[in-house]
Amino acid sequence: MNNSMIFNPLEEFEKKFSSLHAENTAKRFEELVKQSNVDENKNKETVKQYHFYKENIKKLKKKLNLFRFLRVIMIITIILIVVVVLKITPKIKALRSEIEQADNKADELYAEALSQMQPLNDLFSSKEALNIIEQTIPLIDFADHFTAKQEIDMKTNYDFGADDSNEYSTLDVLAGNYNGNPFIFENKIKHTMGTETYHGYRTISWTETYINSKGRLSTRTRTQTLHATVNKPKPFYNGQIVLSYCAQGGPELCFSRDATHLHEKNERQIERYVKRGEKRLKKKTDDALKENSNFTSMSNSDFEVLFDALDRTNEVQFRTLFTPLAQTNMVDLLLSDTGYGDDFNFIKRNRTNAIISKHSQGRNINLYGNEICSFDFEEIKRNFIDKNAKFFKDVYFDLAPILAIPIYQERPVHSLDPLPDYTKLYAEKQCESLANVVDYGYVAHPQTKTQAIIKSSFVNSQKGVDKTRISAYSYDIEKRVDVVSVLGGDGRFHNVNVPWDEYIPLEYHNDFYVTENSNADGKVLANKNGLFMFCK
């Protein structure tokens, strides 16, 4: 198997990796089918019968609804009540009985089909998708877990996690390395405090006098609904999937660029976009000369405008990364619709590079076995083939902006700072991901009425078990009412009640244990990717 670097990530996906991954996926599925020893033909017949009964149930229900309608019409006519009693009602009863029998038969067939496929379903795990990707691109090596060793390496040698805080909590992780360069996909939830506008209403009435159409003095009652608002603090929670890739290239360089969806523009629109950008580049270069700053525009204006990383902090290191080949790769990637085009933010902070792509938001960062499972062999096969293809494409095009830069694929030099001594086994983010699937009754304050931001801190490790302190930050909610004075149409001020929610911060701390041993001494609270969290 060729372990060479990827020199053109877009072209190599189109001409090599897409078809190779499909071949590997199909081959692996056949291996799993053979290993499971399921009888696909027998299952196809069972599923065929199941669908026959389900279709028949639909027809019977339509027929039943028709007879019900006829019975209502006949009862309305009164004269046909005898027909209803003697003919229609017995038919309805018979149809109900037939539907019940068909439902029972369909349930039996479903259970039988599921039992037939259970040996195959039992073989699916999140590791299957990762193994196929590793086979397709051997330089990628996924880890079983995000270990403490990798976490400490990334923090110590690659500036990772410098901006981590109690405002974030990790829901899921997928760690690994590319040719020795560590990376992690992280699905996390972010807490921010914002403002909520609350509304209150009050209807008032008053009597006024006026001259009617006959010139006489009259009275009338007027009504008005008064509206008042108050703005109060409120917590908000937003999910985000981020790929963090660590590499030694450009160790003091920082920059950022945002997705602009250039791939959605036509060629003429791109030309106009670049021309406008060139004017902006010239102005920035002129300003830099006047201010004696170190910004210098590169000769490839297409790359400069389209990539738009003009906030870079080190021109020499930026040019070291973005060689002519890297510039060409990046422009091709941004303009192509083969993958996802220009749908990614790219943030470099020293030796850690973050990719936040639109196509990855909302997806699972692992392809779990239950996403493949079914009672139907053909559906299992479609799920395995199609979902693995989609998962590979998502992962590949998150990595593609990194792979576009050849220096980022070079194996790291290991003459880095020595790692500190450590005893813990699992990264804190890995422990957080486990704690986030534990019932709130164990990890959050009893009065919690919102989501909780869960953080993990290492306590100690003994005999293959990490003890971790889980801290949950959440809110209780108390109902409040503000009284707001509002001027009414009667010329007087009226008090309007505006109900609102006060969010009262809560903290809760408890100790849990993390291990790969499912038979550990304690109550298992969570199980994910072969790791268990339990309490004693």
Question: What pLDDT is attached to residue 70?
Answer: 61
Question: Largest alpha-carbon pair distance within the chain?
Answer: 102
Measured CA to CA, the distance from residue 5 to residue 409 in angstroms comes to: 7
Mean pLDDT for the stretch of residues 352-376: 94
Question: If you average pLDDT over every residue of the chain, what do you get?
Answer: 90
Q: Which residues of 382-421 are buried (b: 16+ CB within 10 A; e: fewer)?
A: ebbeebbeebbbbbbbbbbbbbbbbebbeebeeeeeeeee
Query: What's the rounded Cα separation, in Å, for the pair 361 and 367?
Result: 15
pLDDT band for 59, please (50, 70, 90 cuts): confident
Are 305 and 277 within 8 A, CB to CB?
yes
What are the pLDDT digits (tens) for 258-284? 999 888 888 899 889 888 888 888 888
Q: What is the pLDDT of residue 413?
A: 84
The Cβ of residue 492 has, within 10 Å, a number of other Cβ atoms equal to 11
Q: How far is Cα of residue 29 from the mean position of the Cα atoms in its chain? A: 26
Handedness of CA 285, 289, 293, 296 (dihedral sign): positive
State whether residue 177 is helix, strand or coil: strand
**pLDDT tens profile 316-359:** 999 999 999 999 999 999 999 888 999 999 999 999 999 999 99
In this predicted structure, the answer to whether residue 2 has a pLDDT above a threshold of 60 is no
Chain-centre distance of CA 91, in angstroms?
Answer: 51
Q: What is the pTM of this model?
A: 0.87
Is-contact 504 475, C-beta < 8 A? yes
Residue 355 · residue 243 · CB < 8 Å = yes
- Give CA–CA dist 286/289, Å, rounded: 5
Gap between the Cα atoms of 169 and 104, Å rounded = 46
Mean pLDDT of the region 230-258 = 96
Q: Is the pLDDT of residue 416 over 70?
A: no
Q: What is the DSSP letter of 393?
A: H
136 against 52, higher pLDDT: 136
373 phi, psi to nearest 5 deg: -60, 150
182 three-state secondary structure? strand
Q: Bigger pLDDT: 395 or 61?
A: 395
Domain map (residue ranges) of the chain: 40-121, 428-535
DSSP string, 291-347: HT------S-HHHHHHH--TT-S-HHHHHHHS-HHHHHHHHHHHH-SSS--S-EEEE
Q: Read off the pLDDT band of 76 (50, 70, 90).
A: low
Both tokens of residue 248?
Answer: 């030694």
Model pLDDT for residues 449-506, shown as the tens digit of each residue:
999 999 999 999 998 999 999 999 999 999 999 999 999 999 999 999 999 999 999 9
Instruction: Report d(CA 338, CA 69) in Å as an integer.
Output: 54
Q: Which two tokens stand for residue 88?
A: 């229609």
* Residue 414 host element (H or E): none
Residue 518's H or E segment, with its range, is: none
- pLDDT tens-place string over residues 209-237: 888 888 888 888 999 999 999 999 999 99
Residue 69 has pLDDT above 80, yes or no: no
Note whether 400 and 333 are within 8 A (CB): yes
Q: What tokens does 434 get?
A: 């486990």
pLDDT of residue 73: 60
The per-residue pLDDT for 128 is: 95
